[in-house]
Structure 1
Amino acid sequence: MNRKSALCGSLLALSALTASPAVAAPADPGCFDRERQPYTSVVDSHLHFRPFGGEEIPFRELVGYLRKTGVRYANMYGIGQTLPADSSCTYYLDCPGTPVTPSMKNDFANARALLAQTPDDVQLTLSMTFPDLANPGDVLDRMRLLEEEYPGRFRWMGEVNLIKQALLKNGHEPADKADIAAWAPFMAELRERDIPLTIHSDLGNDRDHTAYLPLMEEVLERYPDNRIVWAHMGLSKELSTMDPAAHVAILERLMRQHPNFGADISWRVLEDLYFSRPEARKHYVPFLNAHSDRVLPGTDFVASRDKDFGVYKTELEVTSRINRHLDDDAFRDIALGQSYFDLLDLPDEAPRVCPA
């Protein structure tokens, strides 16, 4: 069975779990019936298989979470900044003052786990999370080391931090414009290998909503031919009062100016602070409908051992709620994965949405 058939079969199998026996099957059994089938995304493009510190959820168990929730594609993010090995912390916010330092160890651990236990029903994409964007001098050498050790396996880079305010108390060094200019060697390598890059770059905070926008603009202007994904659309817990209309206007402008620019809508902060509010959705839904081919879904789940299947299931449901408001084309692109397939040049194809 090819991947296209496998995906369609998985979606139809999921419908059997949720459909009422009293509802007739769609006339076209190859289409996706939004009234009967789950609205949760089949792609998790932003999933951290490794935590900041402490014990992780075992690989096989985490893949089981994906299988049970109907997720059939995921990016294997590590965590590029790790807490000290002797620290009792699993989450940096619980330990202000404890430094987080860039490391390759999670990328190697992810690669070893995938090669040893590759699932046949969930497609996982390895991602390089190690780069320290404020000190980029060795990034290219380390990329080539991973390629030498695992040829052709790493097909994504990210999530990497340009500016992440939540990490500032743990020694995070934001990149500046001079650092961004020094990315040129590894950005050229990404272009050569056609690898997308997901960047965490806070848009701003509640004191200044666009304080850090110039950094993302500098990246996009300097590297227009790189395929760049803005994690969380630039939103964060530090930015809870952004005017949705103003935010969408920024995103629209960047989409118009930079054809290789996209965004992910991972992390429940987007739903909790913005998408859940009808007055905000009236701005975001038209934007997502118009640019769905450049939008990726994701949970931003971090697989620390203090979490379980129930937590992942909840995060997937919450981050997928916006899917219910999308038009059929956008639902196919985002929830059913077509935008992800296109970005990775996969041969897979999302099913059509059944006519209402």
Structure 2
Amino acid sequence: MRINRRLAVLGAAMTVITIVASPAGADAGRLKQRCYDRTREPYTSAVDSHLHFRPFGGKAIPFDELLGYLRKSGVRHASMYGIGQTLPVDSGCTYYLECPGTPVVPSMRNDFVNAANYVEERPKDPELALSMTFMDLNRPETIPEGIALYDKEYPGMFRWAGEVNLVKQALFPNHHKPATSENIKNWAPFMKTLRERRIPITLHSDLGSDAEPTKYLPLMEEVLRLYPHNKIVWAHMGLSKELSTMNPDEHIRIMQRLLRQDPNLTLDLSWRVLEDQYFSKPGVRKKYADFLDRNPTRAIPGTDFVASRNKEYKVYEEELEVTSRINKALNNTAFRDIALGENYFRLLGMKESAPQVCRAH
């Protein structure tokens, strides 16, 4: 398959290759290119920084099977999100949109299942970063105690926080309410812990709706003002299904302003809504690609795939392909930093480095 060609192409005399040790379970003698040849290799992202290993409700794709999806698609690093906002176990629902009126509330349940699976397997390929998704940003006083429990049960294993909801309009029918400015001020204790441990936090914070495109922007601005030294990742660049008609130039101006003001802000490019509602429109892809080319170190890729048992590999493969289409329009620097994972490695403080992109002949 095309996606599986991320491994080195044999027989190309002008391509320099080197033998590397194979991870457990991989084919012996795997070859790895010194540089990444964009003319031969896939444009799909090599990291998935936004992957939900657990669903909102119902059965999940088994852990080993999902790891197989990543290997098959060429993804070698992923953030292991649960979903902190879970449906009641007796609801019979697998997705919140199917059950308006049913409360969706923060829970530790998925994080502990993820941690147990991770400890049992300790996979090296793909390499995973466990994430804390239990945080109730409307009740920040409960978060330090929760982190302490995670420290006790799984010391040093959680390297990410989120995705957690600052404001998510899609969940309003399920009793979700936006965090308030007062809530945000009271985040200080747990944000201090994350800052000291250099743990990124991914916030879902809708910009607004088609009726009011920037209604909730002040909430994210308040977060960035109060916590400028935290590694904050803004999920989906603030876009959503509720905001499908925002002027791309206005959106880009807002993103550029906030990136300039806060050097620790990173944009999350996950969710196919970005491609379907914005990047794919005539003339718009180039605007966003130019924006990312100007800010190559400030974005990370992801699928936002939710591992419900009713999905198969072809669904993950499609989500990865769709969310990676923007990569084709990036210059080599942004492609390496974003698609090949350099920014992701830097956020996590990893020693790993993405391959350089081969120079065109």
Q: TM-score under structure 2 normalisation?
A: 0.92
User: Quick check: 1:232 aligned with 2:239?
Assistant: no
Other-structure match for 2:15 = 26
Report the residue type matching 1:181 in the other structure: K
Question: In the superposition, relative to structure 1, how do residues 72 and 27 fare at CA in structure 2: closer, same or farther (>3 Å)?
Answer: closer
Report the residue type matching 1:185 in the other structure: P
Report the residue type matching 1:34 in the other structure: R
Report the residue type matching 2:7 in the other structure: L
Other-structure match for 1:148 = 152
User: Quick check: 1:289 aligned with 2:278?
Assistant: no
Question: In the superposition, relative to structure 1, how do residues 287 and 53 fare at CA in structure 2: closer, same or farther (>3 Å)?
Answer: same
Report the residue type matching 1:31 in the other structure: C
1:163–1:174 Cα contact (<8 Å) kept: yes
Other-structure match for 2:121 = 117
User: Quick check: 1:241 aligned with 2:225?
Assistant: no
Other-structure match for 2:176 = 172
User: Quick check: 1:324 aligned with 2:293?
Assistant: no
Distance 1:211 1:161 in 2: 16
Which of 66, 89, 92 matches 2:70? Answer: 66
Across the aligned residues of Structure 1 and Structure 2, the Cα RMSD in angstroms comes to 1.5
Query: Equivalences for 1:158-307 in 2 at 5 Å?
Result: 158-307=162-311
User: Quick check: 1:14 aligned with 2:1?
Assistant: no
Distance 1:41 1:127 in 2: 20
Other-structure match for 2:315 = 311
CA deviations over 1:221-245 (Å, ceiling 9, x no partner):
0111101000000000000001110
Report the residue type matching 1:266 in the other structure: S
Question: In the superposition, relative to structure 1, how do residues 221 and 44 fare at CA in structure 2: closer, same or farther (>3 Å)?
Answer: same
Deviation at 1:120, TM superposition (A): 2.5
Q: TM-score under structure 1 normalisation?
A: 0.94
Distance 1:196 1:77 in 2: 13
CA deviations over 1:69-126 (Å, ceiling 9, x no partner):
0100000000011111111110000111111111001111100000001222210000
Distance 1:179 1:254 in 2: 21
Other-structure match for 1:7 = none
Report the residue type matching 1:242 in the other structure: M
Other-structure match for 1:6 = none
Deviation at 1:15, TM superposition (A): 4.2
Distance 1:12 1:274 in 2: 29
Deviation at 1:289, TM superposition (A): 0.9
Which of 346, 353, 356 matches 2:357? Answer: 353
Distance 1:133 1:239 in 2: 23
Any gaps of 5 or more consecutive residues in structure 2?
18-32
Any gaps of 5 or more consecutive residues in structure 1?
1-9
1:11–1:32 Cα contact (<8 Å) kept: no
Question: In the superposition, relative to structure 1, how do residues 177 and 13 fare at CA in structure 2: closer, same or farther (>3 Å)?
Answer: closer
Other-structure match for 2:136 = 132
Deviation at 1:211, TM superposition (A): 0.5
More helix by share: 1
Identity of aligned residues (%): 62
Distance 1:119 1:59 in 2: 11
Report the residue type matching 1:283 in the other structure: K
Which of 91, 97, 102 matches 1:93? Answer: 97
Report the residue type matching 2:237 in the other structure: M
Partner SS, residue 331 of structure 1: helix
1:53–1:82 Cα contact (<8 Å) kept: yes
CA deviations over 1:283-337 (Å, ceiling 9, x no partner):
2111111112110000000000010101000000000010000000000001100
Distance 1:205 1:25 in 2: 51
Distance 2:190 2:14 in 1: 51
Report the residue type matching 2:356 in the other structure: R
- How many residues matched? 343
Question: In the superposition, relative to structure 1, how do residues 175 and 26 fare at CA in structure 2: closer, same or farther (>3 Å)?
Answer: same
Distance 1:139 1:257 in 2: 28
Distance 1:70 1:14 in 2: 8
Deviation at 1:135, TM superposition (A): 1.1
2:6–2:41 Cα contact (<8 Å) kept: no
Distance 1:209 1:317 in 2: 28
Distance 2:279 2:260 in 1: 23
